[in-house]
Structure 1
Amino acid sequence: MIILLFFTGHWFGSLFFQTFFQHRYASHRMFTTSKFWERVFYLFAYLFEGASFLNPRAYALMHREHHAFSDTEKDPHSPHFFTDVYQMMKHTIKTFGDYVKRTKDPEAKFPGHYPEWPIVDRIGSSILSRLLFGAAYTAFYIFFAPYWWLFLLLPIHFMMGPIHGAIVNWCGHKYGYRNFDNKDKSKNTTPFDFLMLGELFQNNHHKHPNSANFGKRWFEIDPVYPVMKLMHWIGIITIRKAY
């Protein structure tokens, strides 16, 4: 039971900060916040994402490319230009790595307005940090896993961020229904997206990329939006009006 609780906590903790911090804040600036809270969110993103920490600058640049060139040959991770999800992940990881190492220059319209914390970015993207988190996950399983087959979950811990991205980018542009004609292939994979915390409402998101609420119909519930509304209400963040 403790292993399943740990896995679930890591899955949703990592996913929450990816969608809340790297996606909704770094990429789209759906809300504003103080420098203090930005640094708090930065640290929590690093701690919860752990071995697969996603550099916010690199994430924002690649994601802005995705919106600008959605489902075209210039899209960094459209499933319609790869034979399978593994090839798409391989290309995505390379593009992301180029932005982390700054060996690729983004188009002039993409940079800016994303958080940067060089020391955390260097540590979080380092091989040593990823290995230490991986060792910590493994040690936890050694102490608490009652059955050998539970160790099969460890690779998911190691690659949590890329796995989340692969699910969203592959499924969200191939399977489901459409509320809007966005001139791309984005879809809402499921009307009840609790597993991916609203990220699979891709059709809605591509229609309203600056809206903090990914759900648009009465039955489409974005689990992260009420959390953001609470943070807005108590003054931690200020949700920007969508345009």
Structure 2
Amino acid sequence: MNRFWERTFFIGTWISQGTSYLNPFAYAYMHRMHHMHTEQANDPHSPNHSSNIFKFMLSTYRYYSLVKNKEITLQNGVNKNIPRWIAFEKISESWVSRILWASVYILIYLLYAPNIYWFTMLPLHFFMSPIHGAIINWFSHKIGYRNFKQNNDSTNLFPIEILLGGEALHNNHHAKPWKANFASKWYEFDPSFFAMKILHSFRIIKLNQNSLNK
């Protein structure tokens, strides 16, 4: 996408993720490292390196923070073509921003929650991205089914992938990481792919031919 749309999506992601906004650069770099070193020593978020899901989430966050704060030496070429907006990061990732969004969520509950028990849902809103990441990167290497035999334990979680934007078709994604459409079998569905096709048709993003190949 061009620079205008790139920054539009930076802002849109911050608004939609709120308290759990993730740095796109750090997340993309970590994701590339995961594919390069899946379940090996250099994998930044392999479930095989942690005894439980909470230690896994903590170690993943530590690595993410090291990349975000430039406290780790990045591998040559891995960070190529990953967009970054330093000035916006200072706003979107500040504690002021996160407290502001948390206050907005609490206010919405105060105004519209039918009773006090609904407030138990607040942690889900506060930590949506970490929870999403834990489901994908922990359970999609632990349980589920496999369409492709690989040298890793990646799996697909059907039909949960529909609720997670298709990302839980993790085994398919590891087998063919260049594909924009994570679905492989006739019954699998990747809603994010159809969103990308719509954006492509309006020339907001450009899907290259390789990403559409089977």
TM (normalized to structure 2)? 0.94
Contact 1:50 1:133 in 2 (8 A): yes
- Shift of residue 174 of structure 1? 0.9
Structure 2 spans left out of the alignment, 5+ residues: none
For these two proteins, the number of residue pairs brought into alignment is: 211
Mark the runs of 5 or more structure 1 residues left unpaired by the alignment: 1-32
The 3-state SS of whatever aligns with 2:162 is coil
- TM superposition shift of 1:53: 0.9
- Counterpart secondary structure, 2:51: coil
Tell me if structure 2 keeps the 8 A contact 1:192–1:220. no
Aligned to 2:195: 227
Corresponding residue of 1:25: none
- Aligned equivalent of 1:144, options 94, 106, 112: 112
What is the CA distance between 1:109 and its match in structure 2? 3.0
Deviation of 1:164 after TM superposition, in Å, equals 0.7
8 A Cα contact 2:160 2:168, kept in partner: no
Q: Answer yes or no: is 1:102 the counterpart of 2:70.
A: yes
- Stretch of structure 1 that moved more, 213-222 or 100-109: 100-109
Once the two structures are TM-superposed, the CA of residue 226 in structure 1 deviates from its matched residue by 1.1
Whether the aligned pair in 2 keeps the contact of 1:168 and 1:200 (CA below 8 Å) is yes
In 2, Cα distance between equivalents of 1:228 and 1:90: 31
CA distance in 1 between partners of 2:156 and 2:139 (Å): 9
Deviation at 1:86, TM superposition (A): 0.5
Residue 192 of structure 1 and its aligned partner are, at CA, apart by: 5.9
Q: Is residue 158 of structure 2 the alignment partner of residue 190 of structure 1?
A: yes
- Select which of 124, 147, 167 maps to 1:199: 167
Per the TM alignment, residue 189 of structure 1 is displaced from its structure 2 partner at its CA by: 1.6
SS at match of 1:165: helix
Separation (CA, whole Å) in 1 of partners of 2:210 and 2:119: 44
Query: Could you list the runs of 4 or more consecutive aligned residues of structure 1 that deviate by over 4 angstroms after TM superposition?
Result: none
